[in-house]
Amino acid sequence: MAASSVLRPGLFKHRVAVVTGGGTGIGKAISAELLGLGCSVVISSRKAGRLEAAAEEMRQHIPASSPATVTPLPCNIRSEDEVKALVSSVLQQFGRIDYLVNNGGGQFHSPAEDMSSKGWKAVVDTNLTGTFHCCKEVYTAWMKQHGGAIVNIIADMWKGFPGMSHTGAARAAVDNLTKSLAIEWAASGVRVNAVAPGTIFSKTAMENYKEFGSHLFKMSIPFSPAKRLGLPEEISSAVCFLLSPGASYISGATLKVDAGQSLYRSMWDIPDHSAWPEAPEGENMDGMKELLNPRSKL
């Protein structure tokens, strides 16, 4: 479960949050911290069994004096009808939705040339279209009239995302969607922000990448200025801040929580090659050749 929050106990008392992908990894850490701050949380994903297990685990850590509850509601965010049903169920049960955290998503490792159209569509439909479905439905069903805060979880895709171009494209689109909605929905008192995690380790994330998972996380460490991996609890604190009154004047922003990883090096290795066309002939080309292959002074 999440570490103790740095935010004030009871800060989100009597508030209601929906967290997609809330049963594992980053989503689970966000849900746990919100619960610890007194918020009632609806966690959602496709796998009902995993959701139920996560909810039961979280319930064991809710103080008896807290009004917070955790409710698992399965939903495939790719389906607009299922998202509508999810939002309707939350409003029927709680009568409000103060916060939405769009954490649900997924991807797999593959060079673009090996990626099938089906695989591309599945990732874009989940990470981009699913996020849009959730934002739109929560806004039209509740936040348009009552305000609220939305946080979208994206990724470190600022230098491209070689090896996962599908999720890089989708997450970059969500970054722009965040900015667009922040402006369109400002008059309703809705703040929309994003959090871009660096490489974050969780057991479920490593399992999702199967045999490549262990290698992926280990090879990532040298590419972080922190020289270590991040943990979900280091993302949840940023998300809870952006939902909090302390962020009341923040909207349309993307907070990078990556130890400076996005400013550092790329993990994608480009082998030595001579495939590019030659540079233009002339004195600069001659100078470059002399630099790289200086003539003997003898």
Quick one: average pLDDT of 53-77?
Answer: 96
3-state secondary structure 174-189: HHHHHHHHHHHCHHHC
pLDDT score at 141: 98
Mean pLDDT lowest among 47-61, 121-135, 203-217: 203-217
Are 236 and 30 contacting, i.e. CB atoms less than 8 angstroms apart?
A: yes
- What is the Cβ-side half-sphere exposure of residue 20, based on CA atoms within 13 angstroms? 30
Q: What are phi and psi of 281, to 5 degrees?
A: -70, 155
Structure tokens at 252: 């349309």
Closest CA to 158 of 256, 238, 251: 256
pLDDT score at 83: 98
Does residue 50 register a pLDDT over 70?
yes
**Residue linked to tokens 């965010």:** 77
Mean pLDDT across the chain, nearest whole number? Answer: 95
In whole angstroms, what is the distance from residue 182 CA to residue 50 CA? 33
Mean pLDDT lowest among 195-204, 210-219, 248-257: 210-219
Mean pLDDT lowest among 4-8, 172-176, 210-214, 223-227: 210-214
pLDDT score at 247: 98
Does residue 1 register a pLDDT over 60?
no
Q: How confident is the model at residue 298 (pLDDT cuts 50, 70, 90)?
A: low
Domain 16-292 coded CATH 3.40.50.720: yes
Q: How confident is the model at residue 133 (pLDDT cuts 50, 70, 90)?
A: very high
Tens digit of pLDDT for each residue in 269-290?
999 999 999 999 999 999 999 9
Return the SS3 of 111: coil
User: Helices in the chain by DSSP H: which ranges?
Assistant: 25-36, 48-59, 80-94, 117-124, 130-138, 144-146, 165-184, 203-208, 213-220, 232-243, 283-292
Structure tokens at 292: 């790289």
Does residue 125 register a pLDDT over 60?
yes
In whole angstroms, what is the distance from residue 268 CA to residue 144 CA? 43
pLDDT score at 203: 85
Does residue 2 register a pLDDT over 60?
no
Tens digit of pLDDT for each residue in 162-210?
999 999 999 999 999 999 999 999 999 999 999 999 999 988 888 877 7
**Residue linked to tokens 């064991």:** 60
pTM of the model: 0.94
Does residue 216 register a pLDDT over 90?
no
Q: How confident is the model at residue 3 (pLDDT cuts 50, 70, 90)?
A: low
Tens digit of pLDDT for each residue in 80-98?
999 999 999 999 999 999 9
